Amino acid sequence: MSGIWGKNLRLSIFGESHAPAIGIVIDGLPPGTELDIENIRFQMNRRAPGRNKMSTPRGEKDEFEILSGYFNGKTTGTPLACMIRNADRRSSDYENISKTPRPGHADYTGFVKYGGFNDYRGGGHFSGRLTAPLVFAGAIAQQILEGMGIVIAAHAQSVAGVCDTRFEEVDVDKELVERLKASELAAIDTAKGELMKSEILKAREELDSVGGVIECMALGIPAGLGDPFFDSVESRLSGMLFSIPAVKGVEFGAGFEISRMRGSKANDEYVISDGQISTSTNNNGGILGGITSGMPMVFRAAIKPTPSISQMQSSVDIFSMKEVQLRVEGRHDPCIVPRAIPVVESAAALVILDMMLEGRK
């Protein structure tokens, strides 16, 4: 396998859920970039487990160690390496899945792909635990982008059928962005956020789980980034988003709704606003022909329900080739959406920074 991504900003992730540590190596960061370590810790805490009843009780603080590429408070320009130690491991919870794959997980596909040599504990390298290094890298990317006037924010657009207000329906300002990032479950409409929490806790009580949709917006992106066809903005961003465990769908702008519109409604007509060319609507999510238009980039990612649930389920014994019943042990989230929000923001930040560095070159 290859754990490497990027053209100008190159990332390599390593580790498994129950290995001694996980981490990331970032190559291509501009030298002399001052890092706000406290802000990185803040972003990591947003994703970290064990913060509230909507999360798994696994007690990982996600404390990171920068091993290289950082000196006297600034990046050096050489590869920046970060390690995050796994402190709260209960590997015995996963002994039975060595031969009995959990429904909805990559236990079976991983077994087939790697001939049974894969580390299955906690999902191994397939685990959402590996998103912690992505958030570390994304926090750095967001700091660099903010210096370029680009701000990224995401919220829970829906959870278990409860729908929040969409970004296009409100004025997105600094106050809203900061409130969303500080929230346990980022929702524009706080009343809808409370209903989402109730659905998540209800699913936990019923030994079940729920999914949802995360909407993300990037403001301040200049026009002209990206390329048509294979290297389009949508292609590059979708590729990164689908590397996040549990993401099963991605749409931009109006998304699938645009298929039900007529061209007269779907087209984003051009106007002059404050001496700049813009569009009166943003059904295409700030991207046309695979290239940014200068309008806000808007996309949504569909997150499936957490596959680890405590109800009895049907599976098979890989070695005896018999059908069996399985109850998943361990500590799991009843809904991944709250902790996945900073991961989606990080994915967007990394792709946008990769494109911005390309533009500068």
* Chain segment 102-148, per-residue pLDDT in tens: 999 888 998 899 888 888 777 778 888 999 999 999 999 999 999 99
CA distance 312 to 325: 7
pLDDT tens column, 243-293 = 999 999 999 999 999 999 999 999 999 999 999 999 999 999 999 999 999
Q: What is the pLDDT of residue 329?
A: 77
Number of Cβ within a 10 Å radius of residue 154: 27
Give percent above pLDDT 70 in the chain. 93
Which residues 6+ apart lie within 8 Å of 39 measured at CB?
139, 143
CA distance 296 to 154: 13
Q: Is residue 222 annotated as involved in ligand binding?
A: no
Mean pLDDT confidence for 32-41: 96
Q: Is residue 53 annotated as involved in ligand binding?
A: yes
Mean pLDDT confidence for 34-43: 97
pLDDT tens column, 62-112 = 899 999 999 999 999 999 999 999 886 565 566 677 789 999 988 899 889
Q: Is residue 322 annotated as involved in ligand binding?
A: no
Q: What is the pLDDT of residue 98?
A: 78
Give percent above pLDDT 90 in the chain. 77
Mean pLDDT confidence for 156-165: 98
Q: Is residue 116 annotated as involved in ligand binding?
A: no
Q: Is residue 121 annotated as involved in ligand binding?
A: no
Residue 337 has pLDDT above 70, yes or no: yes
Q: What is the pLDDT of residue 279?
A: 96
What is the domain range of residue 61? 4-360
Burial of 225 per CB tally in 10 Å (0-12, 13-18, 19+): buried
For residue 163, what is the enclosing H or E element? strand 162-163
Residue 176 has pLDDT above 70, yes or no: yes
CA distance 302 to 272: 34
Q: What is the pLDDT of residue 29?
A: 96
Mean pLDDT lowest among 197-206, 246-255, 322-331: 322-331
Q: Is residue 51 annotated as involved in ligand binding?
A: no
Q: Is residue 307 annotated as involved in ligand binding?
A: yes
Q: Is residue 42 annotated as involved in ligand binding?
A: no
Mean pLDDT lowest among 32-36, 105-109, 165-169, 329-333: 329-333
Residue 317 has pLDDT above 90, yes or no: yes
Q: Is residue 133 annotated as involved in ligand binding?
A: no
Give 360's pLDDT tier (boundaries 50, 70, 90): low
Mean pLDDT confidence for 210-232: 96
Residue 295 CA from chain centroid, whole number = 22
CA distance 101 to 77: 43
Six-digit token pair at 89?
Answer: 């491991």
> Whole-number mean pLDDT of the chain?
92
Amino acid in the structure at residue 187: A
Q: What is the pLDDT of residue 332?
A: 82
Six-digit token pair at 155?
Answer: 């919220």
Q: How many domains does the chain have?
A: 1
The CATH number given to whatever domain includes residue 16 is: 3.60.150.10
CA proximity to 151, closest of 330, 288, 349 = 349
Mean pLDDT lowest among 14-23, 159-168, 181-190, 348-357: 14-23
Q: Is residue 20 annotated as involved in ligand binding?
A: no
Residue 361 has pLDDT above 60, yes or no: no
Instruction: State the residue for tokens 């984003």.
Output: 268
Residue 302 CA from chain centroid, whole number = 11
